Amino acid sequence: MALFWTAGRRSAKLVYTAPSQNSLRVTIQGMPSHAGVAPEKGVSAIVAAAKAIAAMQLGRIDTETTANVGTIQGGTARNIVPAEVTLLCEARSRTQEKLDAQTRHMRETFERECAALGATVHVEVIPEYRAYHLQKEDPVLRIAVEAAKAAGLSPSFKESGGGSDGNIFNGYGFPTTVLGCAMEKVHTHDEFLRISDMVKDAAWVVEIIRTARDFR
């Protein structure tokens, strides 16, 4: 069992389903030229990337699906039409068909917008991990629920948009849930975790070990 975030100091959240993720490594090739002498002879890879991003569906796509452009790097000098840009993007969904559709949309948008400007693009799609869907009667969840109650916590079930080692273990056939560890404002500059909540999580883990020992 891995640890994940949750709100509420007395709650014990268990992630019973989490998404698949595809990473997209994108390389756009334009044509360099002097930006002041002959800009019309260049093809800006940065402009091609910008047009593609502007035309793309990103952020929250639906309740199960998200997409993001995380990094963009390119150009060599302010007075040169940039010839190359690289981007790192991702798509996630708890439904494989939705993930496939979003990934296809992102790839096709890059290809269309780059071709319209005279640039070329290579999109490499890398499956990072696969979704999992646990049933509430599965032993791994029953053990965690019983242990939470023994630790004085109120268990509940959560759908997640994040990935973890739980995805990997489930993918190898080892049923795994993700436990709340009360992280707040996750992936922001203000992310924090109360020590008192870490202590409660530690007590929960101890009870999980005890419960699993006697579980039938």
Domain identity same for 30 and 122: yes
Q: State pTM to two decimals.
A: 0.86
Q: What is the pLDDT of residues 172-214, one digit of tens each?
A: 999 999 998 777 788 889 888 888 888 888 999 999 999 999 8
Per-residue confidence band for 9, with pLDDT thresholds at 50, 70 and 90:
low
Q: How large is the average pLDDT for residues 159-170?
A: 94
pLDDT of residue 2: 40
Q: What is the CATH number of the domain that holds 14?
A: 3.40.630.10
Domain boundary among 79, 96, 129: 129
Domain span at residue 106 reads: 20-129
Domain count of the fold of the chain: 2
Burial 41-79 (b: 16+ CB within 10 A, else e): ebbbbbbbbebbbeebebeebeebbbbebeebebeeeee
Q: What is the pLDDT of residues 35-75, one digit of tens each?
A: 999 999 999 999 999 999 999 999 999 999 999 999 999 99
